[in-house]
Structures are given as C-alpha cells and as structure tokens.
Structure 1
Amino acid sequence: MKEKYGIIDIGSNTIRLVIYERQKSGRLREIENVKAVARLRNYLTDKHILTEEGILLLLDTLRSFQEITRHHQLERVICVATATIRQAQNQQEIIQLVEASTDFRMRVLTGEEEAYYGFLAVVNSTSITEAITVDIGGGSTEVTYYKDRELLESYSFPFGALSLRQSFVAGNVPTQEELDRLSAYLTEQFQSLPWLLGKKVPLIAMGGSARNVVQIHQLMKQYPLAGVHQYEMKRKHLLEVRKLLTSLSFEEIQKLEGLSKDRADLIIPALEVFRVLYEMVGASSFVLSRKGLRDGIFYEELIQPFGTRLFPNVLQESFFELAQDYDIRLDDVQHVNQLLAQLVVQIRQLQLYPITEEDVRDMKQAAHVFYLGQYIDEEASSQHTFYILANRTIDGLMHKDRVKLALIASYKNKPLFKQYIAPFVDWFPKEEQRRIRFLGALVKFAHSLNDTKRKIAKKIHITQQNGAIIMDIYCNGDFRAEEYQAEKNKKHLEKIFKQPIELRFRQS
C-alpha cells in the first residue's frame, strides 16, 4: 500500500481535510480534498470567546473528517488551526476538547508560523527568487518579503476577508462608500510596514480568494490552458475583475462561474486587499500560488527530515518528478543533451542559425521530456506530449514557458505545430514561433540519433561543401535504425537552414 498523509486546516472561513499519497517519485500527490464552510469567525464574540455553538460545530466537522481519515488508514494526520482559534481566549479549552473528542491533536499556529509556511510553499513551487507574498484567510492576512529565496520579513495582520466584511460591509455587496472606507483602512495598515512599500517585485497570492480571482479572470478571457498555479495578472486585470464584480448583484455574483458560492460575499473585500497591496508594493505582477499553508507544513514536516527545507532547484525537481511519472530514462536524456551540445557548437561556428543561451536552456528542458506521451500511446505520442505538458502544473514554469516547452518537446511537423500553437498564437510573435519550431526540429533530430536507446552515436562533425551541409556521424554499433530516423527528420532542419543536408554515418 502507498503511504498516505492527511492535513486538517482549521481556518476562520473553512475547515479543510486534504489527503496526500506518496508517489514513486517521492512526491506527495493530493488525492482527497474535503471542505466544510464552518465560518468559525462568526462564532467569535467581541471578547474573543469562541461560543459553545462554534465549538460544537468544530467538533462535529472534525468527527466527520475522522471517518474519512480512518477509512484511508493514514500514516499521519497533522491538524493545525489559524486566526480564529489563535485569537480565541478559550483556546486551551478548545485544544483539550478536540483531543478528548477526536483522533486529532490540534496545533495552533502563530501568525509568524503561518506566514513562514506560506513563504516555504511559494519558494518550493515557483522559480521566482524575490517577491512579496500575501495569504488572506477569513480572520488574518499574512505577508512576507523574500529575496534570493530567503525570508527577510514577515507579518500577520489580524484581519481577513470575513472580518473585513463584518467590519466594513453592511449588506452582502459593499457600496462605493464602504469600499472607499475599506481601501483607506487597508492603505493605512499596509503603510505601517515600510518594507512592503515600493518593492516593485511580483506579488504572489495564496488561498481560496486569490484562486477565485484568477478563475474569474481566466473565464473572462476564455483562457485556453488548464491550471491556475503561477497564473500571472497585471494591475489592469485586477481592475477588470473588480469592475465586473462591483457591477453585479449579489445573486449574480453567486452564480458567477469560477467563484465558490460560499465566497460570494467575501470576494470583493479580498480583492480590495490584493488591489491596495499591489499598489503599495508597486508590484510588477500578481501571481497565484496554488501551494499555500498546508504545502508549507508538508515541506517542513514530511520532506525536511529527508533533506533541506528548500529544494535546490524547483524546476529540476519538477523534471525529476516527470521522469519518474512517465518512466523517462535519465541516461538517455543525458546522451541526447550531449549530442545537442555538439550540434549547437558547430551550428554556431558555421553561423547556420543564431542560437542563444536561452535556446540552449529550452532545448535541454525539452530533451528531458521529449515525446513523454509515448508512455500513453506510441502512435499519438506527439499529441499526448503536448497536451500533458501544456496542461500539467509544472512547478517553476510560468504558463507561457510551459506552452513553449510543450511545443518544443512535442515537435513532429509544421502542420501539427500550427495546430498546437493556434490557441496561443497571440502569445508568441512570428519570429519566436519560427525559433520554437527550429528548437523542436533540432531536439527531434538529436533524439533520432538515439532511436534504439543504445547511445551508439558518439561524435558529430559538420562541414559545408558546395551549398550543402555535410554531417558526419560517428557510431560504435550498427546504426541502420538511427540512420533511417535521422534521414526522415533532417528535412525539418533543411527548411530552416535553407540548405540540403547530407548525412554520412560512419563506424568510429
């Protein structure tokens, strides 16, 4: 049986149970996600006592989760609570009741811990090395500033989407006057932290409200990709979502695609937090992290014991996971990259094509996952490769880079390339499209030289004679299969070089 772990996150708005299963790559994959909209914040009195009704609701929810955790026979369940329990004067009584009435031991996180775990989730799932993070819950908002993947500042504000709505909004939807008062309050709060101001770095947001903002924006623009992790928006996009939401009645907001119905009355106050903070930071972009508090706790509790709390390279970690999930042999990847390196050096020397360092990086990445769709079906491996890479979350790659990787790693021919790029044609200028096609053709050619996975092609020597490109390929085995594939694939390079290519396979 595979190892399974659970985490229960007792928030001010929702209580959530997430179950993870350890994959053969070692990665923890989410297999269950159960949410209860308890709104515990509503049961916290002015004197910060969680009422008996609120405690009973919490215990009842945890007992319902207990049935699920027992069924899954989990190795371990981590149970944490955030703002509402943290702010409750009767916190000790609640902790004791949870332990006496359920299988769980509840740990109440400090604001600093909550902020730290959010930071840990972001740096282990994106390649952004400097940013401000924001995680808005129901009863608190955590912000951090990190640089070179090192946490420098953090703070937990004692307000969240639910408490802001209670304090500033009389009905279900704020009036313009209420929004103005909320905006002024948030401006004053954020100005109290000088390290937030004018940083001009990405603002990375976590949590359900941020996810809903992104989902609404994706639906507004009929976004052609799956997934929200590392989705990027600018200030004007936040304002577009704000304009839409403030133009709708509460009933219309509740029916809005992409928005959880239970967040209908919280989404505008939450969006105001993002908008004001974006302006205070002078942010370069608004980026969603699908990974948050729960993932940060897992990085520390379940991954740190086996190594460092930070992955040395997020993207390399993602490629390692892909290799494990799709049975990619890393020795073959290494060999193809060695062949590519030889090709790049000589193409540059002969000035056949201007290959940049970014191109080299893109080809190395694509060689790692080239035609991984073979794992599903050999005949349609190009189509499966493109679909998997374009639609699978790859930690460390922004959405445009993910599509670029998918286009290179799935390259088969020009017609299929045009079919794949059609929904994204506005993302890439014509010259960039031609360059991506060339990179795909070159990676495909290098792969054809290792067609039988025997690594027999050792050395490539390129010359030019009489308007033709001569490639001498030295092998230490029977090369007929490799020769056949290379002859088939050289035409894609001939079209780009605008010269015929003569292949001369030789025994080394």
Structure 2
Amino acid sequence: MTEKYGIIDIGSNTMRLVIYKRGRSGRLREIENVKVVARLRNYLTDDDELTEEGIRVLLEGLFTFQEVTRFHRLTNVKCVATATLRQARNRNEIVRLVAEQTDFHIRILSEYEEAYYGFLAVVNSTSLSEGITIDIGGGSTEVTYFRNRELIDYHSFPFGALSLKRQFVSGNTPTEEELKKISSYVTEQFHSLDWLKNKKLPIIAIGGSARNLVQIHQVLKNYPIAGIHQYEMDWKDIVTVKKYLTSLTFEQLQKVEGLSKDRADLIIPAIEVFQTLYETVDAKKFILSRKGLRDGIFYEQFIQTLGTSIFPSVLEESFFELAQDYELNVDHVRHVTKLVIQLFEQIRNLSLFPLTGEDLVLLKRAAHVFYLGQYIDEEASSQHTFYILANRTIDGLSHRDRVKLALIASFKNKTVFKQYVKPFETWFSRVEQKQLRFLGALLKFAYSLNDTKRHIVQQIKIEIENENVMIHLFCNRSWRAEEYQAEKHKKHLEKMLKRSIELKFHFLDELGGVR
C-alpha cells in the first residue's frame, strides 16, 4: 500500500487535518487538507476552562476528520493541539474524552515545541541562514530568532488574531482607534524582547493570516505566477494591503479575493501585528513560509535518519525531488553539466561575453532541469518546462530566481524567450534578460553535444581565429548525431556573440591523445 501519513492540528481558530503521501523522491506530498473553523478560543472562560460547548465543537470536528482518516485507512494519525488546549485547566479531561470517543490521542505542544516546529519548517524549506520567524495563531503568537540555521531564541506571546479581536475590537472590524490600541499593546509586547529590536533581518511568517496577506497582495498586483511559498513583501506592501482592507465594509471584506471568509474579521488585527513586528525588527523584507508547524513535526520524524532534523542543503533536496518526479537522466545531466562548465569558463576567459560567478551558479542549476517538460510532452517540452519551473514551489529558491531558472532551462529561441519573459519584464532589466538568454542558448548548445546520451564529447577547447570562434570537440566515438544537433543550435550563440562559430570534431585515442 502507498505510504500515507496524517496529522491533525487543533488550533485556537481552526482545526485542520492534512494527509500526506510519500512520493518517488521520498518526500511527503499533501493529498488532503480538511479544515474546520472551530474557534475554540471563544469557548475558553475567564477561568481558563474550555466549556462543554467548546468540547462538543472539538469532538464534532474530530469526528469529521475520523471519517476521512478511516476512508484512507490511516491507523497512526498524529494529533497535536496548541494554545487554547494548552491554556485550558481541564485539558487532561479533554485529552481523556478524545481518546475514549475517537481514534485520536491528543499531544498538547509546549510553547517551545510550537515555536521550534515552526522554525524547523522554515529552515528546511528555505535557504535563509538567519532570520526572525512569526506564527500568529488564534490564541498565541510564536517568534523565534535563528542564526546559521540554528534556533537561538524563542518566545510565545499570549495573544493571537482571535484573542486580539476579542480584547480590543467591539465590532466585526477594528476602528482606527482600536487599531492604535492593538498596535500599542503589541509594540509593548515585542519590545520586551531585546533580541527582537533593530535586528535588521528578514521576517519569515507562518500560518493562515500570513497566507491570506500574501494572497491578497498577489491579487492586487496581478502576480504573474502561482505559488505563495517564499513570496516576498516589504513594509510598503504590508501597509498597502492594510489600507485597502481598512477601506472596506465587513460585507466587502468577506468577498475579497485571496481572503478566507472565516478570517475576514481577523485579518486586519493580524496585519497590524506583522507591521508592528516589521518596525520593531527594522526588517529587510517579509517572506511567507507556506510550511509551518505540521511540516516541522514531520521534518523532525523523517530527517532523523540523517542524524539531524535539518537538511544539509534545502536546494539540493529540491533538485533531487524534481529529478525523481520527472524521471530525469542523472548521468546525462552530470555529463552536460561538465560540458557546459567547460564552455562557460573558456568563453569567460576569452572575454567573448561578460559572465560572472553568479551566472555559473544559475547555469549549473538550470543544467539539472533543462527541458524536464519532456516528461509531459516531447513536442511542447519547452513550454511545459517553463510553466512547471515558474509555477512549482522550489524550496530554497525565491520567486525571482525560480523564473530565472525557468527562462534558462526552457530556452528554445529568442522569439519564445521573449514570450516567456513578457509578464516579468519589470522584474529583469534588458541587460539581465540578455544574460539569461545567453545562458539558455549556451545550455541548449551543451545539451546538443550529448544528443545520443553516450557521453562521446569528452573535452572542449575554444580558440579565436580571424575574429571567428573555433570550438574543438574531442570525442571517444562517432559524433554524427551530435554534430548535426550542434550545427543546428550554434546559431543562437552566434547571434549573441556576434561572431561566426566553426565546429571541429576530433577523435581521442585510448591514451587521451588526438588522432
């Protein structure tokens, strides 16, 4: 049977069941996501007792999840709870009732565990080595500071989007005066931690409120690609969304695209928290992590075979996953990468085209996924490659770098490149676009040199003869198919180098000499 894993997250605002399936790469892929808006925080009394009605709502949500987990025949479902049940004085009774009446056993996370799992999700799904994380729940807010991908400090604040609304907002949406009170209260809370102030680091936000903020911003700016993980905003972007939302009536808020209807009354207080933290930290940017607490729990479980809970390289894991999912020929990729590095270094040494070390990094990445769209359709492999890479979440790559990768790895010709880059013209200068087009043309040429995947081209030497470029290709067997493809694709390089290219193929004998 296919390996499936389930986790239930009992939050103060929502309860959620997520079911994952282990993919070819060994990584977990989400296949079911069932949400119940329980708002358990509203059933917590002043004496910190969860009322009978609250317990009934909790059990009803779990019964709903139980039907799904039984359908999937899941026998071992993790079930965790956060702030509201952690604060409930009758939590032991609740845990007992759930165990007696359902298939689930609740594990109530400590403040440290809740913060730690959020941190773990961030460092295993981004390439950030230092930053501040924030996870706004319904009843608590966890912040952490990590450096060199290690957790340095953490704190759990006794407020969340739902509790802030209950404490400061009398209607469905806050007035200007109520927002000021929220800001003043949250500022005081954040300023109580010296390690937060003026850190000048990126803020990485986790959770539903952060997702909604990003989704609304993407709609407002007609964002051209899919995906929210690692989406970046700055202070002005946060303020823009806040101004837009505070200008709407509650009825209009409930219809805002990108905003969950059940968060319409919570989103503005949550954004006030994000803005206040941004100002406290004097942050450089605000980044969304779609991976959160639930992912952190599974990262802890499934990476332990490495002797650590943190991936050595997030990006390498992502490319491994792509290779597995699209059945890429790893030996072919390695050989083409070797060839394209030889071409790149000699072109740079001869000053034929301005190239940098950053360009080489980009080129190596693109070599791993060049024309992976062939997996879907050979004839339209360029189009599929661009769409997949531009729109698929690639942990460790920003959205801008993802589009760069897509443009290089899908290169077909100048006309098609211009079609692909058109929605992103404001993202890249003309010089950057030219650079990406050259890297794509170079990679396409390198792939033509291993057309039959026999690794026949072993060495490359480039010379300048009478202002023309002479490329010597040293082979260990017949090169006819490679010669045909290379002659066909060299024109893209000729146009960009503004020089004619002549190809000369040579045999290598067994001792490595030319004959």
The TM tier, using the shorter chain, reads over 0.9
CA contact (8 A) 1:202 1:286 kept: yes
Structure 2 residue aligned with 1:295? 295
Aligned counterparts of 2:467 and 2:306: Cα–Cα separation in 1: 57
- Alignment map for 1:57-456 (pairs within 5 Å): 57-74=57-74, 76-305=76-305, 307-456=307-456
**What letter corresponds to residue 57 of structure 2 in structure 1?**
L
Deviation at 1:478, TM superposition (A): 1.6
CA contact (8 A) 2:141 2:160 kept: yes
* Equivalent position SS for 2:19: strand
CA deviations 1:78-116 (Å, max 9, x no partner) are 000000000000010001011111111100001111000
**What letter corresponds to residue 414 of structure 1 in structure 2?**
K
Aligned counterparts of 1:118 and 1:14: Cα–Cα separation in 2: 17
CA deviations 1:361-412 (Å, max 9, x no partner) are 0000000000000000000000000000000000000000000000000000
* Equivalent position SS for 1:258: coil
**What letter corresponds to residue 423 of structure 2 in structure 1?**
P
Aligned counterparts of 2:281 and 2:288: Cα–Cα separation in 1: 16
* Equivalent position SS for 2:303: helix
My pick for the range that moved more, 67-76 or 372-381, is 67-76
Deviation at 1:507, TM superposition (A): 1.5
* Equivalent position SS for 1:426: coil
TM (norm. structure 1) is 0.99
CA contact (8 A) 1:3 1:75 kept: no
CA contact (8 A) 1:139 1:161 kept: yes
**What letter corresponds to residue 27 of structure 1 in structure 2?**
R
CA contact (8 A) 2:203 2:286 kept: yes
Deviation at 1:436, TM superposition (A): 0.3
**What letter corresponds to residue 286 of structure 2 in structure 1?**
F
Structure 2 unmatched runs, 5+: 509-515
Deviation at 1:331, TM superposition (A): 1.4
| Count, aligned residues | 508
**What letter corresponds to residue 278 of structure 2 in structure 1?**
Y
* Equivalent position SS for 1:496: helix
Deviation at 1:75, TM superposition (A): 5.5
Aligned counterparts of 1:479 and 1:309: Cα–Cα separation in 2: 48
CA contact (8 A) 1:4 1:76 kept: no
Aligned counterparts of 2:307 and 2:492: Cα–Cα separation in 1: 44
Deviation at 1:306, TM superposition (A): 5.2
Aligned counterparts of 1:183 and 1:467: Cα–Cα separation in 2: 66
Aligned counterparts of 1:32 and 1:408: Cα–Cα separation in 2: 34
Structure 2 residue aligned with 1:5? 5
Deviation at 1:305, TM superposition (A): 4.0
My pick for the range that moved more, 101-110 or 74-83, is 74-83
Aligned counterparts of 2:134 and 2:65: Cα–Cα separation in 1: 28
**What letter corresponds to residue 480 of structure 1 in structure 2?**
R
**What letter corresponds to residue 74 of structure 2 in structure 1?**
L
Aligned counterparts of 2:420 and 2:322: Cα–Cα separation in 1: 21
CA contact (8 A) 1:45 1:51 kept: yes
Deviation at 1:219, TM superposition (A): 0.4
Aligned counterparts of 2:54 and 2:301: Cα–Cα separation in 1: 29
CA contact (8 A) 1:4 1:75 kept: no
**What letter corresponds to residue 238 of structure 2 in structure 1?**
L
Aligned counterparts of 1:182 and 1:303: Cα–Cα separation in 2: 40
Aligned counterparts of 1:355 and 1:264: Cα–Cα separation in 2: 49
**What letter corresponds to residue 265 of structure 1 in structure 2?**
D
Deviation at 1:301, TM superposition (A): 2.0
CA contact (8 A) 2:303 2:310 kept: no
**What letter corresponds to residue 492 of structure 1 in structure 2?**
H
CA contact (8 A) 2:11 2:82 kept: yes
* Equivalent position SS for 1:151: strand
CA deviations 1:198-253 (Å, max 9, x no partner) are 01010000000000000000000010010100000000000000000110000000
The 1:471–1:75 alpha-carbon spacing in structure 2 relative to 1, beyond 3 Å, is farther
Deviation at 1:295, TM superposition (A): 0.2
Aligned counterparts of 1:470 and 1:195: Cα–Cα separation in 2: 59
CA deviations 1:150-195 (Å, max 9, x no partner) are 1100000011000000000000010111011110000100000000
Aligned counterparts of 1:305 and 1:44: Cα–Cα separation in 2: 40
**What letter corresponds to residue 200 of structure 1 in structure 2?**
K
Aligned counterparts of 1:22 and 1:170: Cα–Cα separation in 2: 46
TM (norm. structure 2) is 0.98
| Backbone CA RMSD of aligned residues | 0.8
Aligned counterparts of 1:362 and 1:434: Cα–Cα separation in 2: 14
Structure 1 unmatched runs, 5+: none
**What letter corresponds to residue 259 of structure 1 in structure 2?**
L
Aligned counterparts of 1:15 and 1:75: Cα–Cα separation in 2: 19
Deviation at 1:302, TM superposition (A): 3.0
Aligned counterparts of 1:473 and 1:306: Cα–Cα separation in 2: 42
Segments ≥4 residues shifted beyond 6 Å: none
My pick for the range that moved more, 326-335 or 106-115, is 326-335
Deviation at 1:453, TM superposition (A): 0.9
**What letter corresponds to residue 69 of structure 2 in structure 1?**
T
Aligned counterparts of 2:242 and 2:345: Cα–Cα separation in 1: 51
Aligned counterparts of 1:96 and 1:75: Cα–Cα separation in 2: 19
Deviation at 1:73, TM superposition (A): 1.6
Deviation at 1:353, TM superposition (A): 1.3
**What letter corresponds to residue 76 of structure 1 in structure 2?**
N
Aligned counterparts of 2:392 and 2:92: Cα–Cα separation in 1: 43
CA deviations 1:272-310 (Å, max 9, x no partner) are 000000000000000000000000001012332454210
Deviation at 1:64, TM superposition (A): 1.4
Structure 2 residue aligned with 1:36? 36
